[in-house]
Amino acid sequence: MKSWSKMIFSKKGKNNLGESLEKAELARLSDIDSTRKVWDNLQKNGIDKYDEFYNVCLYSSIVYNDISILYDNYHTSNSKTQTNLFGRLLCMTIIEFLDDINPLIGKSLRLELETNNMREFVEELKEIGKEFAAIKRENNSELRMIRNNSAAHKTKKAKDLIDFTKETPFENLNEIVFEISVTNNKLTKLSTRIISKITETLRNN
């Protein structure tokens, strides 16, 4: 009787977790769709002076959604093989995100903000860039090794691939996903304030 009740509790727990993860994913996809529609409307009206900003918004949202889905599966899978696979793909996605995000929030975006009289956001954007750079610097070697040799299957040595598929992909994976989540959340909050300023500016013009 005890083992049966535990099984029911376990199923309920998994169902509840699955529902929560699905709702979170739908919310992220809804935000992505809303941002895309706003950007499309601006471009249809010949307004392209916010293109760098909206590109960053969409890029960070899309990749963070990928990271979240991979992490959810990495964290909840009961299969060691699947956990390893999701972990390797997660490492690959993270290092590629860290390679790309700083150039995207760098000089061109800062110049666009300054040109559009939003200089007050530049320093905060720089600090966010420094946080992403620090995460990359601290984890670069391990993440890149996994990406190059395992996740992207660039190595043609089958025995090396077997070794990678049996090991824990990266010991600090939970920690690094948390750090990226925190920093990306700062970028999202900053983006929300910038969008409010853009909306106000367009309304007054």
Tell me the per-residue pLDDT of 2-21, one tens digit each, with 9 for 90 and over.
333 333 334 444 455 556 77
pLDDT at 21: 73
Tell me the per-residue pLDDT of 101-159, one tens digit each, with 9 for 90 and over.
999 999 999 999 999 999 999 999 999 999 999 999 999 998 988 887 765 455 556 66
Give the least confident one: 11-20, 42-51, 58-67: 11-20
pLDDT at 93: 95
- Enumerate the domain spans of the chain: 2-204
Does the pLDDT value for residue 1 go beyond 80? no
Query: Which residues have CB under 8 Å from 159's CB, separation 6+?
Result: none
Total count of residues recorded for the chain: 205
Contact 173, 74 (CB under 8 A): yes
Q: How far apart are CA 52 and CA 55, in angstroms?
A: 5
Please identify which residue in the block is written with the tokens 């950007």: 39
Q: What percentage of the chain has pLDDT greater than the value 90?
A: 62
Q: How far apart are CA 137 and CA 144, in angstroms?
A: 11
Cβ burial of 92 (10 Å; 0-12, 13-18, 19+) is: buried
pLDDT mean over 86-100:
94
Q: How far apart are CA 107 and CA 101, in angstroms?
A: 12
Query: In the predicted model, what is the mean pLDDT of the chain?
Result: 85
Give the least confident one: 68-77, 78-87, 129-138, 145-154: 145-154
pLDDT at 26: 85
pLDDT at 156: 57
Does the pLDDT value for residue 160 go beyond 90? no
Sequence-distant contacts of 196-202: CB under 8 A, at least 24 apart: 197/118, 197/121, 198/50, 198/53, 198/116, 201/116, 201/117, 202/47
pLDDT at 191: 97
Does the pLDDT value for residue 50 go beyond 80? yes
Q: What percentage of the chain has pLDDT greater than the value 70?
A: 80
Contact 74, 90 (CB under 8 A): yes
Q: What would you report as the CA-atom Rg of the chain, rounded to the nearest whole angstrom?
A: 20
Contact 60, 98 (CB under 8 A): no
Listing DSSP states for 86-129 in one string gives HHHHHHHHHHHHHHHHHHHTSHHHHHHHHHTT-GGGHHHHHHHH
DSSP state at residue 79: -
Q: How far apart are CA 170 and CA 17, in angstroms?
A: 24
CA 117 to chain centre: 28
pLDDT at 31: 92
| Top-confidence range, 8-17, 23-32, 51-60, 75-84 | 51-60
Does the pLDDT value for residue 38 go beyond 60? yes
Q: At what angle do helices 80-104 and 51-76 cross, to 10 degrees?
A: 160
pLDDT at 80: 86
